[in-house]
Amino acid sequence: MGRWKPDGRGRLEEAALALFGERRFENTTVAQIAARAGLTERTFFRYFADKREVLFWGSRTLQEVMVDALATTPQSAPPLEAVAAALDAAGTILQDRFEIARKRQAVIGASVELRERELIKLASLAAALGDGLRRRGTAGPTATLTAEAGIAVFRVAFDRWVTGTAPHDLPQLIRDSLEELRGVTAR
Amino acid sequence: MGRWKPDGRGRLEEAALALFGERRFENTTVAQIAARAGLTERTFFRYFADKREVLFWGSRTLQEVMVDALATTPQSAPPLEAVAAALDAAGTILQDRFEIARKRQAVIGASVELRERELIKLASLAAALGDGLRRRGTAGPTATLTAEAGIAVFRVAFDRWVTGTAPHDLPQLIRDSLEELRGVTAR
């Protein structure tokens, strides 16, 4: 995955996650992150607007990948299958980032502000999937419902994956979670 | 509903919603709200910690009502039915507050900060329902999934209700939305 290679961005990300873990997000400065990565603050700001963006820059990429997967699913597929394809694409990309995802989640879990930011990112992801479904011709409320349910599936699977309480295959965990949703809503 | 009677709280709420609509949330002061309601600032602060709480105090009541409804649903009911009972209780209570809900939603829709606050309240509602399901013996991830799906159902129904694009019966809109979720997830 070219996107995730350990270039300047990757080195800064690793340094930031290490420092956030050691001294908390609130107590870490950009200067410290740059120094730990062996780079300058100027380089830091070439990649990230601020230290919080180190944790959230991937959301945009993830959203693009998911919306693309949704759009390229055959038009004949029902909405939940298109969402399943988007979730699978996300799972596949994240699978290679397990160590980073695990550290990132610990940092986010330790801060109310970051947990709120994460929620907002997930809501915007759900909104983007809903828009994608509407572009495929799914009716408005159905699109919203399906997208939101898909994000719920993703969150449960991601949580199992990142806390290591389940086998280490995120795409499989996502499929399991989707099955579970089908079970819960079946009459 | 004794809880919603137009006492000091209700008068302040009405005054605040009128002012937020006229001059935006950001440009309204507590002094103006109190004056419009014919009450003192001191009285305002007896009911609300700040002007934002005028918009969100009901979330706590709603959450209590929903968690109660969940807890009193027969133990034999499957998790989604318990969540449906909670949503029905919420719909019944909100049904009498249509004008307030409509004005409130317009205010929230006009502010990024308030939309984010609303998201966070809905997430905490989902978490409370998930906890309620776990107390009924539903397994952890199933409880989370069911609660999140229930909140998605609620949001879609609420949105239809408050924008007036559908008939004016929130509990019925919630049932319709739940049916829609069942349809989307059916194989």
Q: Name, in order, each residue with C-beta under 8 angstroms of B86's C-beta and a sequence gap of 6 or more.
A: B66, B67, B69, B70, B73, B129, B132, B150
pLDDT digits (tens, 9 = 90+) for B130-155: 999 999 999 989 999 999 999 999 99
Nearest in space to B103 (alpha carbons), one of B31, B163, B153: B163
Residue A137 maps to a domain:
yes
Q: CB distance from B133 to chain A under 8 Å?
A: no
The answer on pLDDT for A174 being more than 60 is yes
The SS3 of residue B135 is helix
Is the Cβ pair A146, B184 closer than 8 Å?
yes
* Assigned domain for A127 exists: yes
B-chain residue closest to A141, CA distance: B156
Q: How many domains does chain B have?
A: 1
Whether B113 has a pLDDT exceeding 60, the answer reads yes
Q: Which of B183, B187, B9, B172 is nearest to B84 (CA)?
A: B172
Residue A122 lies in a domain: yes
Q: In this complex, is the C-beta atom of B165 within 8 Å of any C-beta atom belonging to chain A?
A: no
At A1, the pLDDT band (50, 70, 90 cuts) reads very low
Question: Hey, what amino acid is at B28?
Answer: T
Distance separating alpha carbons of residues B68 and B170, to the nearest angstrom: 19
pLDDT band at B7 (very low <50, low <70, confident <90, very high): confident
- Could you tell me which residues come within 8 angstroms of residue B57 by beta carbon, excluding any fewer than 6 positions away? B9, B47, B48
Q: How confident is the model at residue A2 (pLDDT cuts 50, 70, 90)?
A: very low
* B105 within some domain: yes
Continuous H helices in chain A: 8-23, 30-37, 41-47, 51-72, 79-95, 98-109, 112-135, 140-162, 170-185
| Distance of residue A7 Cα from the nearest chain B Cα, in angstroms | 33
Q: What are phi and psi of A157, to 5 degrees?
A: -65, -45
When CB atoms are compared, the residue of B80, B120, B185 closest to A119 is B120
Q: Is B139 part of the contact surface with chain A (CB cutoff 8 Å)?
A: no
pLDDT over threshold 70, residue A6: no
Q: Please state the rounded mean pLDDT for residues B102-118.
A: 94
- Determine whether the interchain pair B177/A119 forms a contact, defined as Cβ–Cβ distance below 8 Å: no
CA distance A183 to chain B (A): 9
B149 within a domain of the structure (yes/no) = yes
- Is the pLDDT at B4 greater than 50, yes or no? no
Q: Considering the domain boundaries, does residue B25 fall inside one?
A: no
Please report which helix (H) or strand (E) contains residue B159, including its range. Answer: helix B140-162
Residue A13 counted as domain residue = no
Q: Is the ipTM of this complex over 0.95?
A: no
Q: Does B184 contact A149 at a Cβ distance shorter than 8 Å?
A: yes
Considering only the beta carbons, identify the residue of B145, B160, B177 that sits closest to A152: B145
The CATH number for A72's domain is 1.10.357.10
State whether residue B149 is helix, strand or coil: helix
Residue A40 belongs to some domain of the structure: no
Q: Structural domain of residue A155, as residue ranges?
A: 51-185
CB A37 within 8 A of CB A14: yes
Distances (CA, A) of B106 to A38, B20, B100, B137: 49, 9, 10, 39
Report the interhelical angle of B98-109 vs B79-95 (nearest 10°): 100
Residue B149 CA: distances (Å) to CA of A105, A145, B28, B140, B179: 23, 8, 36, 14, 12
A153 contact B CB<8A = yes
